[in-house]
Amino acid sequence: MNFKIPLMKHTFLQESETKKALADFIIRAERLSMGKECEAFEKKFANYQGRKYAVLFNSGGSANLAMIQALKNLGKIRNDDKAGFSAITWSTNTMPLIQLGLKPIPLDCEPSILNVTLKNILDTLQRHDLKLIFLTNVLGLTGDLSNIKKLCDEKGILILEDNCESLGTELSDGKAGNFSIASSFSFFVAHHMSTIEGGMVCTDDESFYEMLKIVRANGWDRNLDDEQKVKWRKAFNIKSEFEASYTFYDLGYNLRPTEITGFLGQYQMQFLDENIQTRQRNFLRIQKAVEMNNDFVPLNHTHIPLLSGFAFPFIGKTPDLREKYIQKFIKAGIEIRPLIAGNIQRQPFYKKYDENEYQLNGADYLHECGFYTGNYPELTEADLLLIEDCLKK
Ligand SMILES: Cc1ncc(COP(=O)(O)O)c(C=O)c1O
């Protein structure tokens, strides 16, 4: 179906300029497998995010898998540990918890902020002893991350953030993605910036950083720096380079990006801030239209001075009202979709691996009443007026 306003229009920010630069890069590149372009993008991104280290992956989903595998390899979490996670999330947040032998415990979400709040966590802690909380910062919004971090620090609970949908969001006390031991980002098409496929993990923890690089490449040490290599080889009594190149120290995968990912990431970053500003402006404008119509639940984003989302999320007050507006959007030629994957507990894969039924009123409400359309810099004045028109009673 051809939409007047699709969920996204282009693969890249500054599409034609980026495609030309990419073609030129491929022609002159001597090497296309992971190398110095990836490293340069990692440095640039860590600097942008305000974290010490960044490790580039071939997708945001891989980044999530690697974070959990790294925590396991380091012995920070073990089989059967209980891991809380945002119930409104994406499959690749929850699946690795199951795949890697943890006990997933869904955390309910507050509808007006789409996210897990301190209260949701306190409620869950009354029933479950959580070792890890994997938060998803949904569509540019977040919960009260400072208070959540404070509580988790006090209780010795590790936090991971999936920041794939909130690159650039800033709270009064820091950027989303910086309230945890590590956070993931996605550069898949339609995210804030794209490397076609791609993901990143940011952390300040040196041993976690080192382990991420081991996990990313088969469990071997080839991408570690010289000092780190010496340490691993000494610990396992590996004496020659011949032997070291084929020594696998811990569990890993091949989750490597290519130099194309590294090149595109650096190139796209030059357009990122301006595009975040445009999306925030659009978001605030459309949110005003939402607030004028009491068929919708208004979003609460007063705690987020810079809201960087790639979508306009809408919550009808009832499932019937959602249906009414879904039909209006479709009739107007605007592509829409559910709020990420809804309450993930209601997905077939989840039910197969966790027979428990958790009472998640907020996540169920979002599942039944939420939907979203795309927020991207190419939206025209006419597009925005059409969306505003659909939000009228
Ligand atoms: C919250 C969240 N986490 C993870 C991912 C996975 O990212 P990728 O598609 O790069 O694997 C997505 C994808 O949209 C997402 O929305």
One domain, residues 106 and 217 = yes
Final residue of a structural domain among 215, 240, 265: 265
Cα 90 to ligand 1 centre (Å)? 6
Beta carbon of 190 within 6 Å of any ligand 1 atom: no
Whole-number Å distance between alpha carbons of 121 and 112: 16
In a domain? residue 328: yes
Q: Is 69 in the same domain as 165?
A: yes
Residue keyed to tokens 């650096």: 266
Q: Is 186 in the pocket of ligand 1 (CB under 6 A)?
A: yes
Q: Which atom of ligand 1 is nearest to the CA of 340?
A: 16
Compute the half-sphere exposure of residue 382: CA atoms within 13 Å on the CB side of its CA: 4
Q: Is the CB of 136 under 6 A from ligand 1?
A: yes
Q: How far is residue 57 CA from its own chain's centroid?
A: 13
Q: Is the CB of 106 under 6 A from ligand 1?
A: no
Question: Are residues 304 and 228 both part of a single domain?
Answer: no
Contact (CB, 8 A) for 295 and 321: yes
Strands 103-107 and 158-162: unpaired
Task: Confirm whether 7 is domain-assigned.
Answer: no
Nearest residue (by CA) to ligand 1, atom 10, is 60
- Looking at the structure, tell me whether residues 236 and 361 fall in a common domain: no
Distance 108 CA to ligand 1 centre (A): 20
Taken as a whole, the chain contains a residue count of 393
Of 265, 298, 329, at which residue does a domain stop? 265
Range of the domain at 200: 15-265
- Choosing from 200, 231, 265, the residue where a domain stops is 265
- Strands 182-186, 53-57: pairing is unpaired
Q: What are phi and psi of 12, to 5 degrees?
A: -120, 155
Residue with tokens 């301190």: 118
CA of 21 to the centre of ligand 1 (A): 26
Instruction: Find, among 151, 88, 91, the residue nearest to 315 by Cα.
Output: 88
Does residue 3 sit within a domain? no
Pocket test for ligand 1, best of 186, 187, 255 (most atoms within 8 A of CB): 186
> Per the structure, how many domains does the chain have?
2
Do 252 and 123 lie in one domain? The reply is: yes
DSSP letter, residue 176: T
**N- to C-terminal Cα separation, the chain:** 26
Same domain flag for 223 and 315: no
**What is the reported pLDDT for 359?**
95
Identify the segments of the chain with pLDDT beneath 50. Answer: none
- Which residue in 276, 289, 275, 265 sits closest to 384, CA to CA? 289
Quick check: CB of 162 below 6 Å from ligand 1?
yes
User: Ligand 1 centroid vs 193 CA: distance in angstroms?
Assistant: 13
Residue with CA nearest ligand 1 atom 7: 60
- Whether the Cβ atoms of residue 140 and residue 307 lie closer than 8 Å to each other: yes
Q: Which one of 137, 165, 169, 201 would you pick to mutate in the ligand 1 pocket, going by the greatest count of ligand atoms within 8 A of its CB?
A: 165
CA of 198 to the centre of ligand 1 (A): 10
The response to whether residue 161 sits with its C-beta less than 6 Å from ligand 1 reads no
- What stretches of the chain adopt beta strand conformation (E)? 53-57, 82-86, 103-107, 130-136, 158-162, 170-171, 174-175, 182-186, 199-203, 311-315, 370-374
Q: How far is the CA of 163 from the centre of ligand 1 (A)?
A: 9
Task: Indicate the pTM of the whole model.
Answer: 0.98
Spacing, Cα 6 to ligand 1 middle (Å):
19
Whether residues 306 and 165 fall in one domain: no
Q: Considering the domain boundaries, does residue 249 fall inside one?
A: yes
Residues 35 and 156 in one domain: yes
Of the candidates 348, 56, 392, 24, the residue with the CA atom closest to the CA atom of residue 223: 56
- State whether 196 and 278 are in the same domain: no
Same domain, 75 and 171: yes
**Long-range Cβ contact pairs of 281-289 (< 8 A, separation 24 or more):** 282/312, 282/375, 282/379, 282/384, 283/140, 283/307, 283/309, 283/312, 283/375, 285/384, 285/388, 286/312, 286/375, 286/384, 286/387, 286/388, 286/391, 287/312, 289/387, 289/388, 289/391, 289/392
Cα-to-centroid distance, 197 and ligand 1 (Å): 10
| Residue 2 domain flag | no
DSSP assignment string, 231-287: HHHHHTT---HHHHTT---S---B---BHHHHHHHHHHHHHHHHHHHHHHHHHHHHH
Question: What CATH code is carried by the domain that includes residue 330?
Answer: 3.90.1150.10
90 lines ligand 1 (CB under 6 A): yes
- Which CATH number belongs to the domain containing residue 195 in this structure? 3.40.640.10
Q: Does the Cβ of 96 fall within 6 Å of ligand 1?
A: no
Both 122 and 254 in one domain: the answer is yes
Q: Is residue 6 part of a domain?
A: no
Q: Kindly give the distance from the C-alpha atom of residue 60 to the centroid of ligand 1, in angstroms, as a whole number.
A: 5
Token code pair at residue 379: 């939206």
Q: Do the domain assignments include residue 4?
A: no
For residue 159, is it within any domain? yes
Residues 331 and 251 placed together within one structural domain of the fold = no
